[in-house]
Amino acid sequence: MRFLRQSLTGLFLVSLTLGLLSYAGFMVYTAVAERLAKEPRVAERRERVFAVNVITATPQQITPELVAFGEVQSRRSLEIRARASGTLVELADAFEEGGQVREGQLLARIDPADSQAALDRAGSDVRDARNETREAQRALELAGDELDAAADQAALQDRAFQRQRDLAERGVGTAAAVEAAELAAAQARATVLSRRQALAEAEARVAQAATRLERAIIDQQEAQRRLDDTAIVAGFSGSLSDVSVVEGRLVSANEQLARLIDPASLEVAFRVSTPQFSRLLDPQGMLLKAPVQVTLEAFGVDLQTTGTVTRASAAVGEGQTGRLVFARLDAAQGLKPGDFVTVRIQEPPLDNVVRLPAAALGADGAVLVLSADDRLEPVAVTLLRRQGDAILVRAPELAGREVITQRSPLLGAGVKVRPLRPADAGAPAEVPQMLELGAERRARLIAYVEGNTDMPEAVRTRLLAELEQPRVSARVVQRLENRMGG
């Protein structure tokens, strides 16, 4: 009985399970059939409207600005070299790195003992030559007097010979007396010839003495120049750089002692591409004297000055491209040769151009403008210049139209947009972010500024005054910490 009861119980459970499974399958089949029998419902779609920023395109005359990077150079620098060899016995107090000197100031002196001795010997030779000249002149005068005396004596002997010959012709004189008178006249003429030879020798001696005197004077002048070469003076007012000597050092001829730089005569050299260079030429192909603005970022305080483009390099350097252009600086206060600066050059003005954000121009060379029903419409433009985050374009269809300031892949022709126009011009300007520094952070920044010897004094004073304020500009703090490496 027990077996029968357990068998019946199992059979009942199996039947119940099969019934539940059949009912579940019927319910699933009924739900699927009902779902398939229903018609699909399509949700109602609305056109998507994008919010975009727009600005009004206003054609105007704009002066483009070409931005380049260059290096400050000195227009006038001089290598100070020793023109003589010897020991440096004297150095000026300002003969040091960064020393300020004046034009004509004595910078250094090489031991002048040997040059002074040579000059003294040359002076003695000049005096000897002058004495010799005077003696030769006196000898010439005496030779001339002796010649005159010999000529007078020869004239007397000739007259005596004529008298004896006249007497002999009248029969009064003798042949022996005539011969004696003729012999005396011949000897007198020989004496005159000898005195003429002596006079010629005296004249030659005078000429030789004059030549020796000129040579002695030349030697004296050369000795004086060598003595002058022992004194090194400044050719112009400026600052000393690359000083490499001390007092007592032995220097050789033509050895470089330092470099003299004129800090008031600076220029900036910067390289531009060939298309950019072509925009700096006038119709005749000459370089324009365009104004430039030079900026040096110095610890949050920008040093600025102006200048004028003066010339371009005559040739392209090996391995270089573009053109190297030079601009003369007007008042380069705070700038030093070697500074890496930003140069902004004013190009010739452009008429009837529109300034737009750079993001407004698409890859297809067109911008999107608003139509009457706030839908987008592409307009092709001619790109003239890129000015940082802005562009200068020209298109007659843009005048007075509202242009999308930033394109995206979601925007295109015919898209409905909601324009966001800029706020009124009288809206308050953005206030620079200010920070409240902790005592430790403030002290670290002040110590860095005070210990930086490369910083100009005016910049250091201004930064210290700003760091002592309760709130400091975040831009200044960021720049200082970037330079500190913290």
Written as one letter, the residue type at 286 is M
- At residue 344, the pLDDT reads 92
- At residue 43, the pLDDT reads 53
| Sheet with 86-91: strands ordered across | 231-233, 106-110, 86-91, 250-251
The H-or-E segment that residue 164 falls in is helix 113-170
Pairwise CA distance, residues 86 & 73, whole Å: 33
CB 178 within 8 A of CB 164: yes
Written as one letter, the residue type at 67 is V
What is the distance between the terminal CA atoms of the chain, rounded to a whole angstrom? 94
Summary count for the chain: helices (H), strands (E): 7, 25
Q: Which residues of the chain have pLDDT under 70?
A: 1, 38-45, 172-173, 298-301, 423-432, 454, 485-486
- At residue 238, the pLDDT reads 87
Pairwise CA distance, residues 150 & 146, whole Å: 6
Q: 265-346: which CATH number, 2.40.30, 1.10.3470, 1.10.10, 2.30.180?
A: 2.40.30
Nearest to 430 by CA among 478, 464, 475: 475
Q: How many residues does the chain have?
A: 486
pTM, full prediction: 0.58
Residues 115-143 have pLDDT tens digits of 889 999 998 999 998 998 898 888 888 88
| Domain ranges across the chain | 76-111+231-260, 114-229, 265-346, 350-420, 434-484
86, 276, 376, 473 from 432: Cα distances, Å: 62, 34, 36, 7
- At residue 97, the pLDDT reads 87
Q: Hey, how many other C-beta atoms are within 10 angstroms of the C-beta on 271? A: 19
Q: Residue 45 carries which DSSP code?
A: P
Q: Which alpha helices (H) appear in 171-301, and where do they start and end?
A: 175-229, 274-278
Nearest to 372 by CA among 419, 333, 340: 419
The overall average pLDDT reported for the chain is 84
By DSSP bridging, strand 417-420 and strand 50-56 are parallel
Composition of the chain by helix, strand, coil, percent to 5: 40, 30, 30
Structural tokens at position 194: 């000898």
Written as one letter, the residue type at 85 is S
- At residue 45, the pLDDT reads 62
Nearest to 244 by CA among 232, 233, 259, 228: 259
CB 154 within 8 A of CB 148: no
Written as one letter, the residue type at 349 is P
- At residue 426, the pLDDT reads 40
The second-level CATH assignment, the architecture, of 114-229 is Orthogonal Bundle (1.10)
CATH of domain 350-420: 2.40.420
Structural tokens at position 147: 């010649």
What CATH class has 76-111+231-260?
Answer: mainly beta
List 80's β-bridge partners, or say none: 258
CB 90 within 8 A of CB 108: yes
